[in-house]
Structure 1
Amino acid sequence: MKTDKSKLFPRIDPTVIRLYDGEAPGSEDWDWREKESRDNILQMPAVYDVAVPTLTYYGADEEATDGTAVIIAPGGGFQYLSFESEGTAVAQWLNSKGIAVFVLKYRLMRSSTQDPIQEVLPKLADPETFARITESIRRMAVADGKKAVQYVRGNASRYKLDPARIGFMGFSAGGTLALGVGHASDKDARPDFLAAIYPYIGNIKQNNVREDAPPIFICVATADDLALAPQCSALYSSWINAKRPAEFHGYARGGHGFGIVDSHLPVNSWIERFYDWLQQLHKV
């Protein structure tokens, strides 16, 4: 007898939530509209020109959930968002484990072409210059991340979530958000755990880890195209030096931006290792 998987894991249509009641603070005069690019240098779906920050909710099967939620910030150098490989695909995997997901579209630099990926690549060549030109948008994006945590925690009962199990996962530039939000002084805006997947550290200082910093899961490939592995190792050291819970996974191969795409490499198991870590974290 065939099992109807749709009854075991019913798909809930994604719900889009606007983060701010009015215009987002600091970008009140932005009048452009969000777009999607598929005909770009990497031939991958990319969301760009985000001026209105939103959360897209993917609910897990209520019978399988333990009340955990993860807010996901896709990467893209603050120029675009890898919304599928670092967003919706991850959400669907976590949903299958009973974890609710909110994928964040945070504010981005405005693109002057229809290929935001091609636009950002030259900017990444000089890390210091990149950090300088993205500082203002980074601050806006981190503010969007904090607002997202406040929204999810404040509406935990509505989504049948545990307000003490709200996490934040960020990829690349989205990892910048994860770290910035993790340093939030307001407890309502600070997540209960972090996942920094090949995070871009940027201008965030790692020597001042809070004494109540959230537990963190860090993952990167040694051969990261942006040479982020040493920064990730230093990030791990800063957490454990502050005597805060941390787990680090460094994979020999995988490059940058591996997301959840199957490349038949050991790095593809990172999402399973994250889930294992999360299960142990909740047993403590």
Structure 2
Amino acid sequence: MPRLSFALALTFAVALAARGADPIKLWPGKAPGETKDIGAETLTEPKNPNDVKRLANVSEPTITVYSPPKDKNTGAAVVVAPGGGYHILAIEHEGSAVCEWLNTIGVTGVLLKYRVPKRAAQTPDNLAMVQDAQRAITLVRSMSKELGVDPAKVGMLGFSAGGHLTACTALTKKRMYEPVDKSDEQFGHVPNFAVLVYPAYLTEAGKLKSEFEVTKDAPPMFFAHSSDDPVTSEGSVALYLALTKNKVPAELHLYAKGGHGYGMRKSASPCATWPDRAADWMKTRGLLEMGK
């Protein structure tokens, strides 16, 4: 699609999204590196109360905007990356439900439907997902006026594999794709802050993986994890320590119990209060002050 046509289509999509949460394509045409047909996208409904909605075979990544009421809009926006082991997306309790919660605290929620599963022979092996996340941050900033968003208050929140993706996006200074339009040329791709909920794949042999280069310029981060999580909490601890060593503001909530994959589900466990703690942290960072 020509650049002008894509820009017009994007403007129309933004107008729709602001009213009714309609998806917006991330890319004009095929996403970078897409050469094979992986089959039709599928959504599997939960089979029992402990199961989750599973979105699979995503080859056309999108963002879906959930806007808060205008009188509550703080100007902050958060791109939400569901988990799913880079195989599927837990699109509801780690996706749309999170965006709806963000709206209650005056934040624009942006659901990122990124490509899954991993593509073959890519370096890094989650390259397609990082490209989608970087493009999502860029597009939200480029649409800031239409969405009522402050481009300096665009964050990212991810669960499990989505938490790993959030860390990659927050700590990767290089854009991992060639610019495709003026949005890429004019706006940055690194989030202003990050929220990582039981992030996966951050450590190796008990140490933070070398690909995570933490400097004093890294964005502030909030972590929530449980000690009994089979996806070890060492990752959250290691990244938290690396951030604080570099004097980057960070906050870690490590709960005794909770396991993995609870997302927005309510329970008697204190880990279910992580949204309240995340909101408190965002407030102390000045992110929930009403926009101008």
Which TM bucket (shorter chain)?
0.7 to 0.9
Which residue is 2:245 aligned to?
241
Alpha carbons of 1:25 and 1:134: their partners in 2 closer, same or farther (altered >3 Å)? closer
Structure 1 residues 64 and 232 mapped into 2: Cα distance closer, same or farther (>3 Å)? Answer: same
> Structure 1: how far apart are the matches of 2:130 and 2:118?
17
- Report the alpha carbon displacement of residue 88 of structure 1 after superposing the two structures with TM: 1.0
Aligned ranges 1:36-47 → 2 under 5 Å? 36-38=43-45, 43-47=51-55
Q: 1: CA distance between counterparts of 2:121 and 2:27?
A: 25
Is it true that 1:164 corresponds to 2:152 in the alignment? yes
Residues 108, 202 of structure 1: alpha-carbon distance in 2 compared, 3 angstrom cutoff: farther
Report what 1:26 is aligned to.
33
Kindly provide the CA deviation profile for residues 198-222 of structure 1, in whole angstroms up to 9, marking residues without a partner as x. Answer: 1013575366203211000011010
> What letter corresponds to residue 252 of structure 2 in structure 1?
F
Any conservation in 2 of the 1:108–1:137 contact (CA below 8 Å)? no
Aligned with 2:80: secondary structure? strand
- Same amino acid, percent of matched pairs: 32
Q: 1:48 to 1:110 in 2, by over 3 A?
A: farther
Are the structure 2 counterparts of residues 261 and 151 from structure 1 closer, same or farther at C-alpha, using a change threshold of 3 Å? same
Alignment match of 1:74 (pick from 71, 78, 82): 82
Judge conservation of contact 1:78–1:134 (CA < 8 Å) in 2. Answer: no
Matched, 1:138 2:113: no
Q: Aligned residue for 1:281?
A: 285
Aligned 8 A contact 1:68 1:166 in 2: yes
| Equivalent in 207, 217, 220 of residue 212 of structure 1 | 217
Q: TM-score, normalised by structure 1?
A: 0.83
Residues 7-55 of structure 1, C-alpha deviations (whole Å, 9 max, x = no match): xxxx952120100001011113335221101266863211111111111
Query: Which residue number corresponds to residue 258 of structure 2?
Result: 254
Distance 1:134 1:252 in 2: 37
The residue number in structure 1 matching 2:192 is 192
CA distance in 2, matches of 1:264, 1:39: 22
Gapped regions of structure 1 (runs ≥ 5): 1-10, 112-131
Aligned length, in residue pairs: 253
Corresponding letter in the other structure for 1:236: Y
1:195 maps to a residue whose letter is: V
Match in the other structure for 1:148: 136
Say which SS state the counterpart of residue 63 (structure 1) adopts: helix
- Pairwise CA distance, 1:225: 2.0
Residues 141-182 of structure 1 show CA distances to partners (whole Å, capped at 9, x for unaligned) of 011100000000111011011000000001000011111110
**Shift in Å, 1:242:** 1.2
- What whole-Å deviation, never above 9, does each CA across 1:84-118 have from its counterpart, x for those lacking one? 1101111111101111011111111179xxxxxxx
Tell me how far apart the structure 2 counterparts of residues 202 and 266 of structure 1 sit (CA, whole Å). Answer: 24
Matched residue type, 1:182: A
Aligned-partner Cα distance in 2 for 1:191–1:39: 32
**Residues 133 and 233 of structure 1: is their aligned pair in 2 closer, same or farther, counting only changes over 3 Å?**
farther
SS at match of 2:147: coil
Match of 1:17 in 2: 24
Q: 1:31 to 1:133 in 2, by over 3 A?
A: closer
Computed over aligned residues only, the root mean square deviation of the Cα atoms, in angstroms, reads 2.4
Q: Which amino acid aligns with 2:134?
A: K
Quote the offset at 1:133 in angstroms: 9.0
Deviations 1:232-270 (A, max 9, x none): 111110111111110000011110111010122111110
* 1:101 pairs with 2:109: yes
